[in-house]
Each structure stands twice: as C-alpha cells, then as structure tokens.
Structure 1
Amino acid sequence: MDCRPTGKRLIGAPPARKQPVDATGSRGHGRNDASPAALTRARALRDGNARNLRTATVAGTSMDPTFKPGSSILVEARSATAEEDRGDVVVLRSPEEGCEDDLLTKRVVGLERDWLYARDGRLVRVPTAHVWVEGDNASNSNDSTHYGAVPRDKLVGTAVAKVWPPAEAGPVADRHEECEARVIPAEEARRLRSRKTETGETLRIALRASRDAMQEYVGWTPPEDKASGRPAGA
C-alpha cells in the first residue's frame, strides 16, 4: 500500500554522544558555552529518566509550524501507566494498513469518550481506549480526520522538547486550552445528535410522501431495492 506522505516520520534515534556537540557541530573539550540545544537536552536528561528519552528527527510538514522538516526532538518513551492529556504532542505508529512501521508525530485533541467536531465538520465521539490526533498543519495532515480515532496502544512516546535548530530549542508547547475548547459537553452532543436524527427522519417522511404522490397521480412505479426486493424507500 502506498502510504500518504503527509504523516510525520521519526527517523531513528542517533547514537548517544559521549561529548556535547555545540551549534557548529564540533565536539566540546571542556568548554562552558554549550548551545541552547545541548542545554535543553541536558536539562531534560537531568529532570527525567535518561533511559526513557530518545532523540529523533522529524520529516514532513504536518506539524508545521511546531516542527519543521529536519527538527530534532526529545521523545519520552510511553510507560504502561502513562496518561495522555489534550494538547500533548505524541509519537505513534500509523494505524493505516500497510503503514504500521511508520512513526508519526501528532497532537492529542480528544481523549476517550470525548465528543468533538472533526475538522471536516463531523460530530464524533472518541471510543474507549482511543485518542483523537491531528497535525498542527490543518491544510496538510493525514490524521484522525482521515483514519479516525487511534488506539492508545499505538502510542509510543511523548515529544517533550525540541533540540534542533538551536534557535528553537525548548519545551514543546502543549496547546492544552486550545484543544480543551474543541471538546463538546456530552449533554450538548446528545442534543445535537438528536436534532440531526429528527431532521433525517423528517426528510425520509417527505421522500416517502413524494414517492406515493407520484405513484398515485402519475402512475410512476418506484424501482425495487436490490437488497430487499421492496420498492426503494419503503
């Protein structure tokens, strides 16, 4: 299967360096003027568990402007007890058939049992043990809008910091409030679904009445429904 090129791919973790590398790429030898990228990584390693942190390089534009092609990020491996929050940037295995080995970088917009409007206007509910993920670049992202909610067991880590380019080194913005605003209260979602159902039933009744009128006054006979053998719309 030809996978869509819009997803973010994390290209392996480079081997750990024994010495810091400054912004020019040369190895440091007792220097104190560490680059912002090196400092960011050092702080992350100090504050977290170094065994659970990996460096990875981003490809593609689906997370632009947060990450651009070539950005290096620190990814914290997901633990068995990890809980995602709305706004987190996560690394996940592609849920699409034939693309399971692809690693994507997306933002969590909805958690399990959340109601929200997808970018294409659909009202959706996130199933249990799933998350709704989207790229920050709405115009060029293959995400839950296309393949639906993603099982949580597809998540492999959380992006905690950007380490390259040096000018952009620092923590990853979580956009928590922005994603919270996308979630619709359950009571309101049920009301919206009920209204949609009532509208659909009204249209079906009108279509049946129109069909019956045509059959009675014009002598028109509706075509049979191939599946049931009954007149279409009956």
Structure 2
Amino acid sequence: MQRLRKAGRYLVGTVQVLCGVHLFNEHVAEIRPCAGASMYPTLADSGTLVLHSRLALRLSPLARGNLVTAVSPLDPAHQVLKRVMGLPGDVVCVDPTGERRLADVEWCTVPPGHVWLAGDNQSNSTDSRDYGPVPMGLIRGKIVARVWPSPDWLNTTFHKVDRA
C-alpha cells in the first residue's frame, strides 16, 4: 500500500511538472528549431535554435525589424519566421529586389491590423510579396535570441537614421 501511495505522489508530481512546462512554453517562451533559407544570414538554414517568446509580444508592441513567428497565410498548418518590415499605415515597396516583377503593384499601404513580413534572404523567401499584408492575429510571438549555435540576443529593431 505504501508503494502505491508513493507511486501516486510521483505520478501527480510528474503531471504537475509537465503541465507547468506546457504552460510556460505556451504563454511565456520556448526554444524552437529553425529550418529554411529565408532568414539567412541572420539565421542559418538548419541547426539553429531560437528563443521564441509569446510574452514578449504581449509586453511590447511590434516594431519594424522585429523577428516574429506567424501562422502561414498560405498553409495554416505551418508557421513562418520573418522580419516585420511594415506596420499599419506604412507604405512599403512590394518587391525592393525587383526579382519578382509582380503585377501592377509597386507600393502597398499596410492596412490597419496588418503587418508586412519579409525574409532577410529575399531571393529565397516566401513572404508578404507573395501573400500580401499579414493580419496581426496570425502573429504568434517574437524571436528574442539565438540559442544555438553562437548564443546571442538578436538585435531586431531598426534605428532611425538622422538625415541632416
């Protein structure tokens, strides 16, 4: 009987720890792997682990330059990691590289409640040039640090250039 109680306490403790880890990962932060070449050279195309924070998204507003994860507008079963290039009201160049020769639109005003996302490796990235402005409701969190390799906080904001 004593063994059964001990096993029961161990099981309850294990479930509590697993629930705590799950809640932390869902609402605070988690370490995630990155795959794909769209964020090269900022993040390698494989073997990179990043710190993804949902809490950071709630604590500070999105800014140009932030790295974020979002539900893919093209495939809701997948998430994408991109850089915020435009906020609501911004006028952005749809294809600054000129590689895609998109339809008639050269410039786009980001509508309210949306952001413009782009990969750093624009020649190898599916981003807002393909699916347009992304609703903010699809943004899932901010990437705040690279965990592996070369752990480092990621500088993810653009600084204003003083044009005097």
Scaled by the length of structure 1, the TM-score of the pair is 0.51
- Mapped contact 2:63–2:157 kept (Cα < 8 A): no
Q: SS of 1:91's equivalent?
A: strand
Partners of 2:146 and 2:93 in 1: how far apart? 29
Q: Secondary structure at the match of 1:139?
A: helix
Tell me the residue number matched to 1:77.
Answer: 54
Which residue of 153, 156, 171 maps to 2:153? Answer: 171
Is residue 138 of structure 1 aligned with residue 108 of structure 2? no
CA RMSD of aligned residues (A): 2.2
CA deviation digits over 1:188-229, x for unaligned, max 9? xxxxxxxxxxxxxxxxxxxxxxxxxxxxxxxxxxxxxxxxxx
Name whichever structure is richer in strand by fraction: 2
Tell me which residue corresponds to 1:147.
131
Q: 1:91 aligns with which of 63, 69, 75?
A: 69
- Residue-by-residue CA offset, 1:65-85 (whole Å, 9 max, x unaligned): 111112000011155565200
| Partner SS for 2:92 | strand
In structure 1, how many angstroms separate the alpha carbons of the residues matched to 2:126 and 2:33?
Answer: 19
Q: Select 1:65's aligned residue among 12, 30, 41.
A: 41
Q: Which residue of 2 aligns with 1:116?
A: 92
* Cα shift readout 1:115-142 (whole Å, capped 9, x = no counterpart): 1212256111000000000000011000
SS in 1 for 2:137: helix
Higher Rg: 1
State the distance in 2 between where 1:88 and 1:144 align: 15
Percent identical residues: 34
Q: Which amino acid aligns with 1:172?
A: L
Contact map agreement 2:54 2:141 (CA 8 A) in 1: yes
User: 1:174: how far off?
Assistant: 1.3
**Alignment deviations for residues 11-48 of structure 1 (CA, whole Å, 9 cap, x no partner):** xxxxxxxxxxxxxxxxxxxxxxxxxxxxxxxxxxxxxx
State how far apart, in whole Å, the 1-side matches of 2:118 and 2:111 are: 16
| Conservation of the 8 A alpha-carbon contact between 2:41 and 2:121 | yes
**Partners of 1:143 and 1:172 in 2: CA distance:** 21
Aligned match of 1:107 in 77, 83, 92?
83
| Runs of 4+ residues deviating >3 angstroms | 78-82
Extract unaligned runs of 5+ from structure 2.
1-23, 99-105
Query: Following the alignment from structure 1 to structure 2, what is the Cα–Cα distance between the partners of residues 88 and 63?
Result: 12
The answer to which structure, 1 or 2, has the higher relative contact order (CA under 8 A, 6+ apart) is 2
SS in 2 for 1:146: helix
Count, aligned residues: 128
TM-score normalized by the length of structure 2: 0.71
